[in-house]
Amino acid sequence: MSAVTLQAGRLSTRSEAVWGTVVSVDVRDEDASEIAVDAAWAAIRAELHRVDRVFSPYRTDSVVSRLRSGGVHVVAPDVAEVIDRCLEARLITRGAFDPWRAAGGFDPSGLVKGWAAARCLDLAHRHGLRRVSVDAGGDLVCRGEDWPIGVVHPDRPHEVIAVVEAAGLAVATSGTSERGPHVTDPRTGSPAHGARQATVVGPDAALADAFATALLVDGVAGARWFAALPGWSAYVVHGDRATAWGPAFATTAGATGA
């Protein structure tokens, strides 16, 4: 776990193993009944598995797998949306995020988790829940009052190295501590080595997910495209040091000793 919610108070949690990770939903509405939470969770759980059926590159029957094998018929309306978001992220990151250069063909996994987490948060809101967070394997989206989110140390999983207040924001983390060097530099085809861990905070969950992946590739050199983005913040661990940009990490900017 690379980021954790630190909020106190009443808590109802639901979780599901999907997308090769665990997706969990925390509800902190004081007046929400377990029946209401269960109803919202049923809709969210159905969406999690629908997203898996459409976007998983590991399922031979998914839309993405058919695209990877040369198919051109898009059968899900949101596939075009995800492709557009991937194009946007590739342009902003100057190619540090490029799902078209993944092994085997187009793989939007580095953006879809954040994109889908935001959809799940919207579903919870439509079911009347107001203080909710969704954690999709390190990609968090929060709604309601401020949620304190702790960034976990890449080597010491019980230690928090930075805290950010997230209200209506997305927090995405990509790193090598849990899955090893699983991110590839799309420009070289080699494992990414720009950073050991990158946490991004901003208003768009899909882009936050993609930016965290791109900063794992670029490391502190990613400042050339990231630092100019209004409303965005990042905390990048490289070697035994950490560098931070943006208002969310204003008190820890220039951090060392990660």
Q: Are strands 160-166 and 170-175 parallel, antiparallel or unpaired?
A: unpaired
Instruction: Give the pLDDT confidence score for residue 72 in this predicted structure.
Output: 66
Distance CA 136, CA 142 (A): 12
Q: Is 258 inside a domain boundary?
A: no
Length of the chain, in residues: 258
Backbone phi, then psi, for 204, in 5-degree steps?
-130, 115
Distance CA 3, CA 148 (A): 10
Q: Is 28 inside a domain boundary?
A: yes
List, for residues 75-90, the tens digit of each pLDDT value.
567 998 999 999 999 9
Q: Is 48 inside a domain boundary?
A: yes
Weakly modelled stretches of the chain, pLDDT under 70: 1-10, 72-76, 177-181, 252-258
Number of domains in the chain: 1
**Domain boundaries, position 44:** 3-249
Instruction: Give the pLDDT confidence score for residue 254 in this predicted structure.
Output: 44
CATH number, domain containing residue 158 = 3.10.520.10
| pTM of this structure | 0.91
List, for residues 103-119, the tens digit of each pLDDT value.
889 999 999 999 999 99
Q: Is 182 inside a domain boundary?
A: yes
Q: Of 107, 112, 113, whose CA–CA distance to 68 is shortest?
A: 107
Instruction: Give the pLDDT confidence score for residue 182 in this predicted structure.
Output: 74
Instruction: Give the pLDDT confidence score for residue 165 in this predicted structure.
Output: 84
Give every CB contact of residue 174 below 8 A, 6+ residues apart in sequence. Answer: 2, 110, 138, 183, 197, 198, 209, 212, 213, 215, 216
